[in-house]
A and B are shown apart, each in its own frame.
Chain A
Amino acid sequence: MIKIENLEKIYRTDEVQTKALNNVSLAVNEGEFVAIMGPSGCGKSTLLNIIGLLDEPDGGSFRFGSTEVAHVSERQRSKLRKEHIGFVFQSFNLIDELTVAENVELPLIYLGMGAAERKQRVEQVLEKMKIMHRRNHFPQQLSGGQQQRVAVARAVVNSPKLILADEPTGNLDSRNGNEVMELLTELNEAGTTIVMVTHSEHDARYAHRVIRLLDGEVVLENVQQPFTV
């Protein structure tokens, strides 16, 4: 589903150039659950953002499905994003001015879906994430775990093929963290491809495979058995 070859990303600021990604190649198959690990600053987020079409690489190729997307237009990217990709962030990134239900509804609005269908989809997904009773609350009124569940709900509401998660448990305690990992696993088992950045070896064990980065380069790919409790 994702095929990346010799990917480069360089950040240029006034004084310095940072090579955030150097000659990165990797592939993710449909239905896989991949974890990306590595020390802080090694380029994990950069890689995830490029995969999520939020950022452009400076070199190399990136095929999403059968299309080359390394340098497509912003319009094309936003179309691909809203149709195929869901995001979960460490800091939840919910819109404070919108209620739980409205936050979850947002991707469907951008997809141009009718109101009735939206309502149904939102309720389904809120039900599934066990957050239905909080549907009319604002993000600030929820606990961290609840907020992240809303974020996951929002990421999956349009049934994306790919979910990208950047340290989804980073701001959560272990109980809430495990709940989120469980959710992701369920989604994966239902067929969604997941790429997740994490610091935690514990969380990484939920994944089928771990890609380790160091200073912008892939140092190790190992397949491992699915984690069982």
Chain B
Amino acid sequence: MFKNYLLVAYRNLVRHKSFSLINISGLALGITACLLIGLFVHDELQFDKNVPDGERIYRVYTQQTKTDAPETFAPVAPMFATTLKQEFPEVEQTMRILMQNSVNLLEVGDKKIYVGDDLMVDSTFFDVFQLPFKYGSAAKALNAPTSIVLTEEVARNFFGDENPIGKEIKVDKSTFNVTGVLENSLDKFHLKVNFIVPLAAAELPAERMKKWGWQQFFTYVKLRPGADAKQTQAKLRAYLNDKVQPTLPPDEKLTSVPVLQPLHQIHLYSSNFKYDSSVKGNITYVKALSLIAVFILLIAGFNFVNLATAKSMQRAKEVGVRKTIGASQQQLMLQFLSETVLLTLASVVLAAVFTSLLLPALNAFTGKTMEFDLLANPALLGVLVLLTVVVGLVAGFYPALVLSSFKPVKVLKSAVVTDGIFGRVQWLRHGLIVVQFALSVFLIICALVVFGQVSYLHNKELGFNREQIMFFPMRGQNMNQQHEAFKNELKQVPGVVSASIGYGFPGDQVAGDGIIVPANGERKDHPVTQLMVDYDYIKTLGLQLVAGRDFSKELTTDKDHAFIINETAVKELGFGTPQQALGKTVEWEVWNDRNPDSLKVGKVIGVVKDFHYKSLYDKLEPAVLQIFPDAYWKVAVKMRADNLGSSVDGVKQVWAKFSPESPIEYKFLDDNFEEMYRAEDKLNTLLWVFTGIAIFVGCLGLFGLATYAAERRKKEIGIRKVLGADVSTIVGLLSKEFLKLVLVAAIIAFPVAWYVMHEWLQDFAYRIDMPLWAFVVAAVAAGTVAFLTVSYQAVRAATANPIKNLRAE
């Protein structure tokens, strides 16, 4: 019996080749998209799942309570860990990682390589994260201040395949001893690690480690089994309120509350955290992609249902015959269901092939190392089998029901079946097409809006000139001490327009600190961004002065008694207009460990137009520019566009003169900005790809349906032509039906798309207005594609010789 079903199914597939092709390839494409997205989402959800006791590990972060839009900081003050360990019995262990952003020069013998992503950690690091060791062991790995644990990759770079335990390695000229090598299994760990050294190596003053206001440590706690993190969090907040807050001086009161974040949420649920250096995903994008996968599968599945029911007319006779001979409805249901399952199976097999072909591209695009190996992963095979059965049964159920319920008397009698059930099928088919197009229109709108916002991010006038600016940190004592000479030589390089040394360049780290405005006998402290600059900063970046003047070397007071502020600062500090701000007195507590009381008092000498030194996620903040050579660290070199290559070479030569022992590590400033929006860029690309797939799959189905519509109405078209209808009338006749559906779909999709995109745009401090043209374009595009698809068949039907069709009856 089953053999007979399969036989008929197979022959049907072969006989109706184009139908089968449309059905199988559409579904295969849909399933491929789903599989790729599924692999990606699964991979994102796998982060930190391998860490032993992961469900007991939490990260402590803080949430600002003062500002209206609460800000979330990943690092916290050192005392959090100390207190949690000492005062909370349910805490098994705590561990801190120093927040830093350095690239270190590692040296073994002659081999010198810059390596970033080092962790300076409490010696309890491996108690909390029990990472597997290849050489050495966790127990004593971080005991001495000169201990260093390498990852397998870094170890291989310096020591090849030999066991490096006990060997020496220099980190920025200080000597460390290798005490362990980690196994290469950290690709789904939320921390980027190349090597680990004990916090002791940083030689932080003991006094600072007792601070509640120094938010500099990523802090983790491992709770004892059975402990309730919510309770611990509540207790910690109460403790801070009752025991800590009263002991703090008025200007050091805590303005934030701590939160315990489960380890498994760090990767996906921290996208808006400030100063977070963990490997971040974005749950919004994961959810969006999952939703798109479901959409595509729905569209492909609906095709299946639609085409199968449309085709059922052709199979009505077969049903009638089988029933006459004695087949029961159940037997027929089973027959048709096994056909759809077979068809689905073919699609799934094809999709598996597509997926393994496309996965390398996705891996390259996402920087992941996902695998699609059915033999090695039985669970994956299970998913595919499940997918086959579920999609096959769900998509096949209704057509099978329709087909198997045909009354033999009726279908055997007439060539054209005009039963009541076809009215219902028509309804369903139209409903499904509307949903398909609504999903497509929705996706097109989203893709357009995201595209608009991403272009905006990349092209918005940032208030400074970011092109052709070479950017690097200074290295070595010599270069730091002679930075003035270094800069002068840089300026001599042919093609270099100007050079600036400072701390606080756009797209790079900036420092936040208070600025004091004395007024009416009070000294009000305002939090601002401090940009530590030199006399060439404004010129190099092309900032615009809206009032006053730039710093000048000729005026000796500019070094210690002058400030330039931005327009936002004019407002926030209460100066009224830029012009009025000039000459106002401000004070700053100088960064200086040795003499914490020293105060820099000066006047506002200029106001610069606001410029975006951070990403457009962040609102412009008040910023203060001042000359402060102690903080100089980064170098920006503005070049002419022509001969960029030789200018860069020139800069390298100057570098080699001042810092021969360390190679230069440079970027271009605009790259910093491009990097900020990488997540959006990727979302943008993925959206277009998957929207394209969704539309294509939807059109495949429409094409199939149009084929049937034309087929079904062959005779009608023939008669109309004999009566004198021209081709365009007939094309219009056939297309009108579908275009109406697209219109309904657009009307459904518009409000949903508007809402979703409105929400997404809220994440950006600087965003485009909801582009209404996107809605028009989406509807027109969907309509055009639908029209072209349908009219191909319509034109064919309309231009066919009418006599032939009439005789065929």
Residues of A within 8 A of B (CB): 45, 49, 52, 54-55, 74-75, 78-79, 81-83, 87, 89, 91, 93-98, 102, 105-107, 109-112, 154
Contact of B318 among A78, A87, A95, A109 (CB under 8 A): A95
**Does the CB pair B12–A106 fall under 8 Å?**
no
A78–B326 Cα gap in the complex (Å)? 5
Distance A54 CA – B409 CA, assembled complex (angstroms): 6
From 1 to 38 in chain B, residues with beta carbon under 8 angstroms from any chain A beta carbon are 1, 4, 7-8, 11-12, 15
Contact of A98 among B1, B8, B317 (CB under 8 A): B8
Partner-A contacts on B (CB < 8 A): 1, 4, 7-8, 11-12, 15, 317-318, 320-329, 331, 407-409, 412-413
Cα separation A112 to B327 with both chains bound (whole Å): 11
How long is the Cα–Cα vector from A94 to B328 in the complex, in angstroms? 18
Chain A residues lying within 8 Å of B324, measured Cβ to Cβ, are: 52, 54, 81, 87, 93
B323: A residues at CB distance < 8 A: 54, 78
Say whether B321 contacts A93, CB under 8 Å.
yes
Name the distance in Å between B405's Cβ and chain A's nearest Cβ: 10
Instruction: Give the residue among A82, A107, A110, A112 with the most B Cβ atoms within 10 A.
Output: A110
Contacts of B7 in A (CB 8 A): 97-98, 102
- Is A81 a contact of B329 with CB atoms below 8 Å? no
Q: Is the CB of A110 within 8 A of B331?
A: yes
> Do residues B8 and A110 form an inter-chain contact, with CB atoms below 8 A?
no
Chain B residues near A154 (CB, 8 Å)?
Answer: 325
Chain A residues in 8 Å Cβ range of B331: 110
Shortest Cβ gap from A212 to chain B (Å) = 22
CA distance A83 to B1 in the complex (A): 17
How many Å lie between the Cα of A52 and that of B409 in the bound state?
Answer: 10
Residue of A nearest to B324 (CB): A87
Between B321, B323, B328, B413, the greatest number of chain A beta carbons within 10 A of the residue's beta carbon is seen for: B321
Number of A-B contacts (CB under 8 A): 70
17 interchain pairs, CB-CB under 8 A: A52-B324, A54-B409, A78-B327, A81-B326, A82-B326, A82-B327, A87-B325, A89-B412, A95-B318, A97-B7, A97-B8, A98-B7, A102-B4, A106-B4, A110-B322, A110-B325, A111-B326
Write out the residue numbers on chain A whose beta carbons fall within 8 Å of the beta carbon of B317.
93, 95
Chain B residues whose C-beta falls within 8 Å of the C-beta of A111 in the assembled complex? 326
| Cα A111 to Cα B328 with chains together (Å) | 11
CB distance from A181 to the nearest CB of B (A): 21
Which residues of B lie under 8 Å from residue A112 when comparing CB positions?
A: 1
Q: CB < 8 Å: which of B322, B407, B408, B412 contacts A106?
A: B322
Tell me, rounded to whole Å, the shortest Cβ–Cβ distance linking B500 to chain A: 79
Which chain B residue shows the least CB distance to A97?
B11
Contact of A107 among B8, B325, B329, B409 (CB under 8 A): B325
Question: Please, how many angstroms separate the alpha-carbon atoms of A79 and B325 in the complex?
Answer: 10
Task: Kindly list chain A residues whose C-beta atoms are within 8 Å of the C-beta of B320.
Answer: 93
Known A93-B321, A94-B321, A98-B7; judge A107-B326 contact (CB<8 A): yes
Q: Provide the residues of chain A in CB contact with B4, threshold 8 Å.
A: 102, 105-106, 109
Given contacts A93-B317, A98-B7, 10 further A-B contacts (CB under 8 A): A45-B413, A78-B326, A78-B328, A81-B324, A82-B326, A83-B326, A97-B11, A97-B12, A110-B1, A110-B331
Question: Could you tell me the distance between the alpha carbons of A111 and B326 in the complex, rounded to whole angstroms?
Answer: 8
B407 contacts across to A, CB distance below 8 A:
54-55
Q: Is the CB of B328 within 8 A of A75?
A: yes
Q: A74 and B321: CB pair below 8 A?
A: no
Least CB distance from B408 to A in Å reads 5
| A95: B residues at CB distance < 8 A | 8, 317-318, 321-322
User: What are the 4 closest A-B residue pairs judged by CB atoms, nearest first?
Assistant: A82-B326, A97-B11, A110-B326, A107-B325
Given A95-B8, A102-B7, A106-B4, verify A54-B328 contact (CB < 8 Å): no
- A54 / chain B contacts, CB cutoff of 8 Å: 323-324, 407-409
* A109, B1: Cβ atoms closer than 8 Å: yes
Chain A residue with the shortest CB-CB distance to B415 = A91
Given A93-B321, A102-B7, A55 and B409 touching (CB < 8 A)? yes
Return the chain A residue nearest B5 by Cβ. Answer: A109
B318 and A97 within 8 A (CB): yes
Query: Which one of B8, B318, B325, B413 lies within 8 Å of A81 (CB-CB)?
Result: B325
User: Which residues from chain A contact B1 at a C-beta distance below 8 Å?
Assistant: 109-110, 112
Taking CB atoms, residues of chain B closer than 8 Å to A107 are 325-326
Q: Which of B4, B12, B323, B326 has the most CB of A within 10 A?
A: B326
| Whole-angstrom distance between the Cβ of A53 and the nearest chain B Cβ | 10
Cross-interface CB contact of B327 among A97, A102, A110, cutoff 8 Å: A110
Measured in the bound complex, the distance between the Cα atoms of B408 and A105 in whole Å is 19
The distance from the CB of B189 to the nearest CB of chain A, in whole angstroms, is 57
List residues of chain A with CB within 8 A of the CB of B326: 78-79, 81-83, 107, 110-111
Partner of B325, one of A45, A49, A91, A106: A106
> A106 to chain B: which residues have CB within 8 Å?
4, 322, 325
* Pick from A45, A74, A96, A110: contact of B329, CB under 8 Å: A74
Q: Using Cβ atoms and an 8 Å threshold, which residues of chain B touch A83?
A: 326
Chain A residues within an 8 Å CB radius of B321: 93-95
Chain B residues within 8 Å of A105, by CB: 4
The distance from the CB of B719 to the nearest CB of chain A, in whole angstroms, is 23
Chain A residues within an 8 Å CB radius of B329:
74
Q: Which residues of A contact B322 (CB under 8 A)?
A: 95, 106, 110
Closest Cβ–Cβ distance, residue B561 to chain A (whole Å): 95
Q: For B328, what are the chain A residues with a Cβ–Cβ distance below 8 Å?
A: 74-75, 78
A49 contacts B409, C-beta separation under 8 Å = yes
- Assembled-state Cα–Cα distance A162/B600 (Å): 114
In the bound complex, CA of A81 to CA of B320 (Å): 13
CA distance A112 to B326 in the complex (A): 11
Closest B residue, CB atoms, query A75: B328
CB nearest to A91 among chain B residues? B412
Q: How far is A111 from B331 in the complex, measured between Cα atoms in Å?
A: 12
With both chains docked as a complex, state the minimum distance between the C-beta of A64 and any C-beta of chain B, in angstroms.
15
Residues A93 and B8 in contact in the complex (CB < 8 Å), given A74-B329, A87-B325, A110-B331: no
Point out the residues of chain B lying under 8 angstroms from A74, CB to CB.
328-329
In the bound complex, residues from chain B placing their C-beta under 8 Å from that of A102 are 4, 7
CB distance from A55 to the nearest CB of B (A): 5
Alpha-carbon distance between A87 and B331 when the two chains are bound, in angstroms: 20
CB distance from A142 to the nearest CB of B (A): 16
> Closest Cβ of chain A: how far from B659's Cβ, in Å?
80
- Chain A residues contacting B409 (CB-CB under 8 Å) are 49, 54-55
Chain A, Cβ-Cβ closest to B326: A82
Shortest distance from the beta carbon of A70 to any chain B beta carbon, whole Å: 16
**Distance, CA A102 to CA B12, complexed state (A):** 15
| A81 to B328 Cα, complex, angstroms | 10
A46 CB to nearest chain B CB (Å): 8
CA distance A146 to B418 in the complex (A): 31
Separation in Å of the B456 CB from the closest CB of chain A? 57
B69 to chain A, nearest CB (A): 64
- A79 neighbours in B (Cβ, 8 Å): 326
Q: Please give the distance in Å from A106's CB to the nearest CB on chain B.
A: 6
Residue of B nearest to A55 (CB): B409
Least distance between B80 CB and chain A CB atoms (Å): 74
Report how far A21 CA is from B409 CA in the complex, Å: 15
Chain A nearest CB from B50 CB (Å) reads: 53
Find chain B residues with CB under 8 A from A93 CB.
317, 320-321, 324, 412
Residues on B with C-beta less than 8 A from A52 are 324
How many angstroms between the C-alpha atoms of A95 and B70 in the bound complex? 71
Write out the residue numbers on chain A whose beta carbons fall within 8 Å of the beta carbon of B318: 95-97
Nearest B-chain residue to A52, judged by Cβ: B324
Report A90 CB to chain B, min CB distance, Å.
10
Residue in contact with B15 in the complex, picked from A49, A89, A97, CB distance below 8 Å: A97
Q: Complex formed: what's the CA distance from A74 to B404 in Å?
A: 13
**Chain A proximity of B809: nearest CB distance (Å):** 13
**B408 proximity list for chain A (CB < 8 A):** 54
Which residues of A are found within 8 Å of B11, using beta-carbon distances? 97-98
Chain A residue at minimum C-beta to C-beta distance from B12 = A97
Min distance, Cβ A51 to any Cβ of chain B, angstroms: 12
- Give the distance in Å from the alpha carbon of A97 to the alpha carbon of B4 in the complex: 11
Q: Which of A54, A97, A112 has the most chain B CB atoms closer than 10 A to its own CB?
A: A97
